[in-house]
């Protein structure tokens, strides 16, 4: 079967750094996406990784290790507005997105 | 511009009503998607249109009927829904359906079935 695991909830402090992990087992791999979703709103695209390594985009970075079936999203200089759910999704061999359940990130002052 | 628009934002309907959800994008994307999302759950894929043809139907009940009038528009016709169909309905689009084709989501329609 196909499976994507993320922590259910994490808490961090404003101004700090947080790492959200995602492990996956899917039938095929055509890339991994991270989306941010604020409560009641649509998911917003953050990053895409298909090759091993780190992709940096401002305060957000995403890392992929295909051999380990592992990715993480790193958020630096946390702001209150970063409080949201972060969804990891893998594109499988049929080019369909397989979604993790999401990690709810709570930022405290 | 990565904007996908959806109307209405909110919809309340009875189990005997017929209503439609609308989605529009002007990015020249050739793939469009309908997802259903329940609270605290990830999006569930319902339908995929590629080049205006239905390419994926994830065993969705016939009370949901998709339509793609042209490459910019996607509708979801609703009829005889059940209270458990209450959810956030998300439309997304992407350039194609290949591995580098990021899906961009609209703001969603919050549907309540009474």
Portion of chain A with pLDDT greater than 70, in percent: 100
Query: Is residue B78 very low, low, confident or very high in pLDDT (cuts 50, 70, 90)?
Result: very high
Average pLDDT over residues B37-63: 92
Query: Is residue A40 very low, low, confident or very high in pLDDT (cuts 50, 70, 90)?
Result: confident
Contact B85, B113 (CB under 8 A): yes
Which of these, B38, B111, B51, B104, lies nearest to B76 by C-alpha position? B111
Average pLDDT over residues B58-67: 94
The per-residue pLDDT of chain B, averaged, comes to 93
Q: Which of B88, B98, B110 sits opposite A95 (nearest CB)?
A: B98
CA atoms within 13 A on the CB side of B55: 15
Q: Is B114 helix (H, G, I), strand (E, B) or coil?
A: coil
Average pLDDT over residues B58-70: 94
Q: Residue A78 pLDDT > 90, yes or no? A: yes
Disruptive mutation site among A9, A43, A51 for chain B (greatest number of B CBs within 10 Å):
A43
Chain B positions touching A100 (Cβ under 8 A) are 42
**C-alpha to C-alpha distance for B23 and B90, rounded to whole angstroms:** 9
Within 10 angstroms of residue A16's Cβ, the number of other Cβ atoms is 12
Q: Is A57 exposed, middle or buried (0-12, 13-18, 19+ CB in 10 A)?
A: exposed
Contact B43, B35 (CB under 8 A): yes
Minimum distance, in Å, between the CA of residue A21 and any CA atom of chain B: 16
Q: Residue B1 pLDDT > 70, yes or no? A: no
Q: Is A81 helix (H, G, I), strand (E, B) or coil?
A: helix
Q: Residue A1 pLDDT > 80, yes or no? A: no
Contact B47, B56 (CB under 8 A): yes
Chain A positions touching B103 (Cβ under 8 A) are 33, 45, 97
Query: What is the count of residue pairs from A and B with beta carbons less than 8 Å apart?
Result: 46
How many helices (H) and strands (E) would you count in chain A? 0, 11
Q: In the numeric block, which tokens belong to residue B96? A: 């194609």
């Amino acid at each position: 079967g196909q499976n994507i695991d993320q922590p259910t909830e994490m808490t961090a402090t404003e101004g700090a750094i947080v790492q959200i992990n995602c492990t996956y087992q899917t039938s095929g791999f055509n890339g991994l996406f991270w989306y941010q979703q604020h409560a009641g709103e649509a998911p917003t695209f953050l990053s895409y990784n298909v090759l091993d390594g780190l992709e940096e985009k401002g305060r957000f970075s995403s890392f992929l290790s295909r051999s380990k079936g592992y990715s993480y999203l790193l958020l630096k200089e946390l702001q209150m507005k970063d409080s949201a759910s972060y969804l990891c999704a893998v594109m499988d061999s049929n080019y369909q997105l397989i979604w993790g359940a999401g990690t709810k990130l709570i930022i405290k002052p | 511009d990565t904007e996908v628009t959806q109307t209405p934002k909110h919809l309340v309907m009875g189990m005997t009503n017929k209503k439609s959800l609308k989605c529009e994008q002007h990015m020249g994307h050739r793939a469009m998607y309908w997802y259903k999302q329940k609270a605290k759950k990830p999006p569930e894929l319902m339908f995929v249109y590629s080049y205006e043809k239905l390419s994926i139907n994830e065993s969705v009940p016939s009370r949901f009927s998709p339509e793609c009038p042209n490459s910019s528009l996607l509708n979801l016709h609703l009829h005889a829904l059940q209270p458990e169909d209450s959810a956030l309905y998300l439309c997304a689009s992407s350039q194609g359906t290949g591995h580098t084709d990021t899906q961009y989501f609209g703001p969603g329609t919050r549907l309540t079935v009474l």
